[in-house]
Structure 1
Amino acid sequence: MTGPLRTFLLMAVAVVAVSLSGPLMALAVVPPLAIAFWRNAFATVAIAPAVVVRRGDELRELTGRRLGLVLVSGVMLAIHFATWVTSLTLTSVASATAMVCLQLAWIVAWQLLRGERFDTRVLVGLALAFGGVLVVTGVDFTLSTEALVGDALALVGGAAAAAYTVIGSRARQTTSTTTYTFVCYGSCAGLLAVACLVAGQDLGGYPLEQWGLLLLITATAQLLGHSVLNHLLATTSPMYVSLALLLEVPGAALLAALILGQQPPLAALLGLAVMVAGMALVIVSNRGPVPEEAPVG
């Protein structure tokens, strides 16, 4: 199999996998914080053998500032999952997925605040993306205040994912992807376990089919999705990976319609289209450095 064909097929698998994330988590009857905990806990267990066998020395040497960066990245990942998975219980999968996919927009906005300059098209793309947010949230507000709260939580989840991406990019400069992922997912799972206990959300006692669904979420979104995308970043431009990830928005909306019967209003779909177009313009026009860490979902 040729290099370009292999890359295309891997990217297609990853996009389908991450697109399944929102619909599958919305389908589950497991409490949202518990869903977030188990997908990270299962992923940590899945990665553990490779870390022990191949990266034992590196894991023992992970201390000081290097360890601190990975742990802070885990905190941001926990905030991302806690807010986004909860948002799926309040608003539509399409809205929640689109809001959380604004990760790169938050990164560029942060760079702007730090005084970095961008092409005018990047600024236009940002305006379009956040303009689309206003359209979607306006439509959701007419549906229910609960949906609006869900949109707000998804936006926070996207901002936390942006912080995770930036911090994770720095951490991986001195730490292998395997070790970084193991410690990050593990610390994230630990924080989410505490959050479940504080919020009174059960970590067990689910029907067998729900455990199967949790394993499916882990295998698709967590392992086949973002792990594959992180692998592709070693050989593929971050711009192309980011553009491919935008397909998660229509992909998740389509799968939510098929699996859950969710059909957002036409105005909301138009807002989602504006958001995706704006993000695409930001990605294509941005000539600044993009953190080489796959966005999460």
Structure 2
Amino acid sequence: MNNTSLKIPVFIPLIIGIIAISFSSIFVKWSDAPVSVQGMYRLLFTLIMMLPFVWKQARYLKQINWRETFLLILSGAFLALHFLFWMGSLKLTTVASSTILLSLQPVFVMIGAYIAFREKTSKAAIIGMMVAILGAIMIGWGDIGISAKHIQGDLLSILGTIVVAAHMLIGQKLLKTFPATLYSFTVFLVAVIVFGIYNLTLNIPMTGYPEKEWGIFLLLAIIPTVFGHVLFNWLLKYVTAATISMAILGEPVGATLLAYLFLGESLTLSQWSGGAIVLAGLYYFLQNTRKQNKRTTPAPIKPPLTSGPIVKKG
């Protein structure tokens, strides 16, 4: 990483990215279209914008084997499920509850990395994980007092977090030998196909929506996807992955503030307390994970097909 080659202070694009991804929940709430349609067009419009940057890399697809092809399809399917579950949760619970629970993603990634790769973590990081989970329980407990619908939304958000963790773990493995931009394009394409099949199977209309909805689909692609996740991917050329990971702590804060301003959503004392505990636990967890990574010497890996930043999803 070479911070000096960046012409502007790192915190400027980082803040832009945090604000951009915070708007994702607001756009989903504003839309009356089914979440499967929102997710499909969000990624489809992103694919169209990415096309000029990836078509020259298409030749690398001829070099992948059947196992890698299967993993790419699986990663794309998990990404589609993530959008279905998480965007669906926003229709049932508050933006704050959904995004705070989604921010538990590093915890599930750590658990999955231990199961799949036997990657170990420090006791301090485990303590942070447990604190964050305690906060998540407090959020759910607070939602019990509101309605059963809110609890269903919390569960959907947790399911969305689990599947996106699986998606990230597959990406971690594939990106050792796969161009990052082409990887993103491929899994987005698979996710769009999965959404299309889902909508056709359930007879969910994919056309005939008013102009307002098409505007929201486009906003979802441009703001939280391009100016959020794609911007974070670009920043990985200049800062560490741990720095980008810390940005997830900013999303629930930004999304909650925007939900208060644009949607009039408010939180109970239990939810505020649980949210604060989740963020504190995650901060402690990520800080100790970063310290452990600094002490660990990475094993040699096969050279990638071409250079590119490692992709982070959410």
Q: TM-score normalised to the size of structure 2? A: 0.88
- 2:284 pairs with one of 275, 281, 284: 281
Partner of 2:158: 155
TM-superposed CA distance for 1:93, in Å, is 0.8
Supply the distance in 1 between the matched residues of 2:43 and 2:97 (Cα, whole angstroms): 23
Contact 1:166 1:293 in 2 (8 A): no
2:176 corresponds to 1:173: yes
Supply the distance in 2 between the matched residues of 1:143 and 1:125 (Cα, whole angstroms): 28
Contact 1:233 1:294 in 2 (8 A): no
Structure-2 change in CA distance of 1:169 and 1:24 (3 Å):
same
Aligned residues: 295
Supply the distance in 2 between the matched residues of 1:66 and 1:244 (Cα, whole angstroms): 30
2:11 corresponds to 1:13: no
Contact 2:101 2:157 in 1 (8 A): yes
Q: Match for 1:144: what amino acid? A: S
Structure-2 change in CA distance of 1:47 and 1:151 (3 Å):
same
- 1:82 pairs with one of 67, 84, 95: 84
Supply the distance in 2 between the matched residues of 1:152 and 1:111 (Cα, whole angstroms): 22
Partner of 1:187: 190
TM-superposed CA distance for 1:63, in Å, is 4.1
Q: Match for 1:137: what amino acid? A: G
2:32 corresponds to 1:32: no
Secondary structure of the 2:60 match is helix
Deviation track 1:12-34 (CA, whole Å, cap 9, x = no partner) reads 11111111111111111111111
Deviation track 1:142-174 (CA, whole Å, cap 9, x = no partner) reads 111111011000001001111111111211221
Supply the distance in 2 between the matched residues of 1:200 and 1:16 (Cα, whole angstroms): 35
Deviation track 1:106-160 (CA, whole Å, cap 9, x = no partner) reads 1122345565443222111111111011100111111111110110000010011
Supply the distance in 2 between the matched residues of 1:210 and 1:221 (Cα, whole angstroms): 16
Supply the distance in 1 between the matched residues of 2:115 and 2:180 (Cα, whole angstroms): 29
What is the identity percentage for the equivalent residue pairs of Structure 1 and Structure 2?
26
Residue ranges of structure 2 left out of the alignment (5+ in a row)? 299-309
Partner of 2:264: 261
- 2:107 pairs with one of 89, 105, 124: 105
Contact 2:125 2:288 in 1 (8 A): yes
Q: Match for 1:279: what amino acid? A: L
Supply the distance in 2 between the matched residues of 1:250 and 1:60 (Cα, whole angstroms): 43
Supply the distance in 2 between the matched residues of 1:181 and 1:117 (Cα, whole angstroms): 27
Contact 1:122 1:285 in 2 (8 A): yes
Q: TM-score normalised to the size of structure 1? A: 0.93
- 1:204 pairs with one of 190, 202, 207: 207
Secondary structure of the 1:89 match is coil
Supply the distance in 1 between the matched residues of 2:275 and 2:81 (Cα, whole angstroms): 24
Quote the RMSD (CA, aligned, Å). 2.0
Deviation track 1:64-120 (CA, whole Å, cap 9, x = no partner) reads 233222221101101111100111100011111111111101112234556544322
Supply the distance in 1 between the matched residues of 2:14 and 2:210 (Cα, whole angstroms): 33
Contact 2:112 2:166 in 1 (8 A): no
- 2:73 pairs with one of 68, 71, 74: 71
Supply the distance in 1 between the matched residues of 2:59 and 2:313 (Cα, whole angstroms): 28
